[in-house]
Structure 1
């Protein structure tokens, strides 16, 4: 028996059951929009994509952009690539890089300058086409653990933010304290009349762990993926209702999409479609952190990471 197909069918059944249920009333989620951006350059192919993303946000949200050339070779060399990028983005200026690793330079800049969004290429300092899904890189790993503000991670060069924000997917794999804030960012970044979805992802590994626990506590009781999907939809019913209300108020299209991990975005790496993925992240939740890291590695699309608790 094909377990993957069974998982897909059970998730689909749970989705239809939930969609027939009464959504209920909820207050719309206030959209959160970028205001002051830290644009990080690394000399890779992704720089042009990052610059275009910052320029788009400038035109759409009237943002201010601080530009950092984070290459180690740029220490003590002035503005470097940042100076060149200033002429391509309105209301922008370059900032100086300190000595140390790239992630130290980025985090130092965040302490010195108040911004509410970082644009960061992935993999840092490497070509996406060369590395592919094999690694997101050390810089990304450290920033996921320490960055106190949302990270807009750029990936494949043909994925332009101006097009990607027409379809925005909020991916959630488990209950997370910061998911409402992530939804606020999703609506704040979404283009007018965009398609926005809440994707409740049932990962096979998560399902197997929960099933083992349930069956150990209740021997002989069968726990299938439809039960886990049903639990996910129930625990996210308030978020679903709030996102539905927000989409209605902002005249956007909204969908609830419980999905098996194998079919949830991004899938596959070569996907030519353009979309923005939004992922909430609780740094001290190992499962959520692993889920986010896996989605980054597998994604050709830009990913907006909205962090929760960040260790001091």
Structure 2
């Protein structure tokens, strides 16, 4: 136990000591986050302008990782297969035959049929974003968030994406060209709100998808309601105690010490930059409202109200592609 420091309050020391115990009990020696990369990708078309963004993302993943690529048109209004076939030929992918059901049912069937580990889907499905406004993600997206067994790379707004450029196609070398669009894989932001069982797999996708020489930012969001409740409770115990934002954020960082250490080691091994940030919810910048120059990764713990609400809110106001990494489908 540390020696008594008269400059610290009893409540403050108890908070720090309690979080230290949590860290020793639950963190231990952190292993590097093992990168996850796609082996099979499903590209879902809806006939909207967002297909122009989804296709370059799919092409990039296929060229960079050598993954299988499947194309499915899941519209309910247009049952023709010509669009999927044309896009598949363009991307040297496989077009899937049409299936019955609502759009989300067709997409889930395509995920099961292909055995893909990542699906690229537009949001809102089948409609231009400006037709529904910033407060709607659509029924198809909601159902996929609840039922998809694989991560969803959600495209909300169209933006120019740099193609994967290979200086020497026979060697598969090269990266993005100097001009002509943005690379959402050069900057990756991952936001955590509270405890989340999907945090580590989400971090694994972040380390696997970030471009060489790029950067990953982990943002721990201190929820305003939690912040105010803890302050009020501790104030009742010790009205003169030090219950500062800084002390609470230090406690939050300790809680995620394992994940932070794992990402730090992965960054060193993988040659990309890594940064940890901790912010109060009300003062946190909206990383999903940027110019479309980054990929935002959100862990989704199904059945957790705060996690589900945070993901749904981000999808409704994003200007970036969002990779939603969910926990297993609840039975």
TM-score interval, normalised by the smaller of the two chains: 0.7 to 0.9
Q: Secondary structure at the match of 2:276?
A: strand
1:266 aligns with 2:286: yes
Indicate the residue corresponding to 1:60 in structure 2: 64
Task: Tell me whether 161-170 or 40-49 shows the greater mean CA deviation.
Answer: 161-170
Indicate the residue corresponding to 2:37 in structure 1: 33
The separation in 1 between residues aligned to 2:217 and 2:28, in whole angstroms, is 18
- Aligned runs of 1:47-126 on 2, under 5 Å? 47-75=51-79, 77=80, 79-90=81-92, 92-126=93-127
In the alignment, which of 270, 277, 281 is matched to residue 300 of structure 2?
A: 281
Indicate the residue corresponding to 1:152 in structure 2: 153
The separation in 2 between residues aligned to 1:227 and 1:133, in whole angstroms, is 36
Q: Secondary structure at the match of 1:74?
A: coil
> TM-score, normalized by length of structure 1?
0.84
Q: CA 1:217–1:98 in structure 2 vs 1: closer, same or farther (change >3 Å)?
A: farther
The separation in 1 between residues aligned to 2:210 and 2:151, in whole angstroms, is 15
Q: Secondary structure at the match of 2:58?
A: helix
1:165 aligns with 2:185: yes
Please tell me whether the aligned partners of residues 167 and 194 of structure 1 are also in contact (alpha carbons under 8 angstroms): yes
Q: CA 1:265–1:87 in structure 2 vs 1: closer, same or farther (change >3 Å)?
A: farther
Once the two structures are superposed, residues 131-178 of structure 1 have per-residue CA deviations (whole angstroms, 9 ceiling, x without a partner) of 342111111111111111010001221153760100011111112122
Please tell me whether the aligned partners of residues 69 and 80 of structure 1 are also in contact (alpha carbons under 8 angstroms): no
The separation in 2 between residues aligned to 1:273 and 1:106, in whole angstroms, is 25
Q: CA 1:109–1:182 in structure 2 vs 1: closer, same or farther (change >3 Å)?
A: same
The separation in 1 between residues aligned to 2:225 and 2:312, in whole angstroms, is 15
Indicate the residue corresponding to 1:182 in structure 2: 202
Structure 1 portions without partners, runs of 5+: 1-22
Once the two structures are superposed, residues 168-204 of structure 1 have per-residue CA deviations (whole angstroms, 9 ceiling, x without a partner) of 1111111212211111100111111111111111232
Q: CA 1:216–1:265 in structure 2 vs 1: closer, same or farther (change >3 Å)?
A: closer
Once the two structures are superposed, residues 196-233 of structure 1 have per-residue CA deviations (whole angstroms, 9 ceiling, x without a partner) of 11111123244345556x36985858755444423321
Q: Secondary structure at the match of 2:190?
A: strand
The separation in 2 between residues aligned to 1:221 and 1:279, in whole angstroms, is 38
- When the two structures are aligned, how many residues end up with a matched partner? 286
Q: Secondary structure at the match of 2:252?
A: helix
Q: CA 1:86–1:288 in structure 2 vs 1: closer, same or farther (change >3 Å)?
A: same
The separation in 1 between residues aligned to 2:160 and 2:236, in whole angstroms, is 47
Indicate the residue corresponding to 1:142 in structure 2: 143
The separation in 2 between residues aligned to 1:281 and 1:161, in whole angstroms, is 28
What is the CA distance between 1:37 and its match in structure 2? 0.8
The separation in 2 between residues aligned to 1:134 and 1:244, in whole angstroms, is 36
Runs (4 or more) in structure 1 with deviation over 6 Å come to none
Q: Secondary structure at the match of 1:87?
A: helix
Q: Secondary structure at the match of 2:329?
A: coil
Name the larger-Rg structure.
2
Structure 2 portions without partners, runs of 5+: 1-26, 164-182
Q: Secondary structure at the match of 2:271?
A: coil
> TM-score, normalized by length of structure 2?
0.79
